[in-house]
Structures are given as structure tokens and as C-alpha cells.
Amino acid sequence: MTEIQSVIIEWYYEYKRDLPWRRTQNPYYIWLSEVILQQTRVVQGRSYYEKFVEKYPKIQDLAAATEQDVLTTWQGLGYYSRARNLHTTAKIVTHEYSGIFPNSYEKILQLKGIGEYTAAAIASFAFDKAHAVVDGNVFRVLSRVFNIETPIDSTEGKKQFTYLANELLAKNQPALFNQAIMEFGALQCVPSNPNCQICPLLIHCEAFKNNRVSLLPIKKGKTKIRKRYFLYCVNLNTTNESILLRKKTENDIWKNMFEFPKIEFESIEKMNEYCLTNKDSIDRIFSSYKHILSHQHLHAQFIMSSNRKDFMCDNVIEIPINDLINYPLPRLIDRFLEENLSLFLNKG
């Protein structure tokens, strides 16, 4: 174990990336980076981290912001429940902990939106507590080095890998080792086609010895994907340059964000049938879009239509087009506007 620790740490000193959240022990900044980097690549997450730090330099600043402002700042990152949980926890820390982030793993874990991995990361990186972080990169490194076939998404697997990670953890420098093993998984022991021949852990890797690197880690099965079909109606008033938006308040994707009024269909055939039946009232049909979420695949069609009664719904507001930047929009809507807004403003 000690030799593996040393190899990973030495590799980290030579190959680590210079990332802003690694230059601080401020628990607020570390927590912010961890939440942003969930389901987000580092290259994208870094710009959002810097934007949040600049806009909300203290946790009290984030707590004082409106949810709409936080969601707008988060726009484009996806998984918007992360932003809502971020805002909620900022208010809890500000009002219940006097703005001082709790320094124990157990108390950190009680905060909204913080699971075992994030709690361990904050406790380790901010307070140098000996808690092993076990993210996807760590699962991959451990499963290969020790040739573990237990599914990483099983209860047994999570217990086994967490135990092993804590056994391997360098207790005298937990923050350093946690950063090192995660970076090793991100840059060296990558998911597909890792360059094992240059890996410093080659002589220790049981998966390599048994020709099983490409087979590990193992998952029980894939999550069932739900397919959804949206027909969005773009209600544009070119006279006063305003547009209709609907605030989503139901418990569904993109809660408390804004979108165009829409109809949801059970199949793409049903959606196409509607468009064909109502073709006389449809003024323009735009390109269709596909948007992939973790558990849902969205098929969206955008139209301009004079038949607005089918799209009547609650929480619809009319806003100046120039104010769109102040409203949090799902990336799907944002993509449509980027590609089409100037087109139909110019042509009517």
C-alpha cells in the first residue's frame, strides 16, 4: 500500500494540472468547485467556477442572491438541482452557522445536496481530514489495480471500494493523496484505451497482469432512458420586440427555469401528426433538436403558430427580447435562440 501511495503522489507532482480550486483551502470555494464539477468536464467547469467566485466572492453573497439570479449564472451547466441545492446550502451556512462552513465530515454531510464523496472532498481538501474521496476516477483506479469485479454501482461495491480507498489513503497527507489519485484516474488511468505501458503502477496492476483493464470497472446495468417529445411554440411579437416565456414550477426537469409554451407528446409520430393536422395555423417550422440528459432523451420541435390556444398554460409572461439574458433558460432553449433569434427577428 505504501509503495502505491508513493508512486501516485510522485506522479501527481510531475503531471498535475494547475487548477484554481487547488490553490485554496477555503471550504466555500472547494465546495463550489466540487458541486460544479459533478457531471461537468474540468475545462467547462473552470469558467463557471471563476464566474461564481467573481460574482459571489463570499458564501453570504451567494446566500443573498435570488434563485433566479443563481440559475441564470448556472445556465448552460445542466443538472439544475445542483444550483438550487447550492443556493439552499449557502443560506443554511450563512444563517445557521454564521457564515462559517462546518469542518466535520458528519456535519458537512448533513448539508443539502452534499453526498459522501463531496463531504469527504471538503473535509479533506479544506480541513485536511483523513476521509478518502471515491469518485469515478478512484473507482476505476482501484478496480484495475486490485482487479475487483464487484459492480461499482452496487451496495456491496460501494462499501468495498470505500473501505479500500480509506485503507490506501495516506493518513498523514490525505488532501494531497486524494487529489493525486483522482488526477491519476483523470489523466493516466482513463476509461478507454489507457496507455498502460507508461503507467507507473504497471507492476502493481492486477488487471493488466490478467488482461482485464478494458473490462474494469464493472457496472450492474444501464439506467433506463426515458424519451420525451416537446413541441415548442415561439410566440414572438415583432412590433414591440417581446416574446412569451413560461416559468416551470412543476417537479420536473428545469424547475424554476423558463421555456417557451409547449405541448408534450407520447411519440414523435403523434407530434408530427399534430403539425400536419394544424399546418394551416403554423407560420414557420424550425429545425428539430435532440437534447440528452442523464436519464432522458428529449426530442424538441420549435414552431411559430397563430393557433395559440393549444399552448395556453399557467405562469406565462411576456418579456422584452433584450431581457432574455436575465432569465435562466435550459440549454436546449438557449441553443435554439443562439441559432434562430436573429433570423426571425429580421424576417418576422
Cα separation, 302 vs 285, in Å, equals 6
Cis peptide before 330 (omega within 30 of 0): no
Residues involved in catalysis: 34
CB 213 within 8 A of CB 196: yes
H or E, element range at 134:
none
Contacts of 241 (CB under 8 A, 6+ apart): 320, 321, 322, 345
The torsion region of residue 39 among left (phi > 0), alpha (psi -120 to 50) and beta comes to left
Pairing of strands 242-247, 258-259: antiparallel
Distance CA 270, CA 155 (A): 41
Q: Which single residue is written with the C-alpha cell 395555423? A: 281
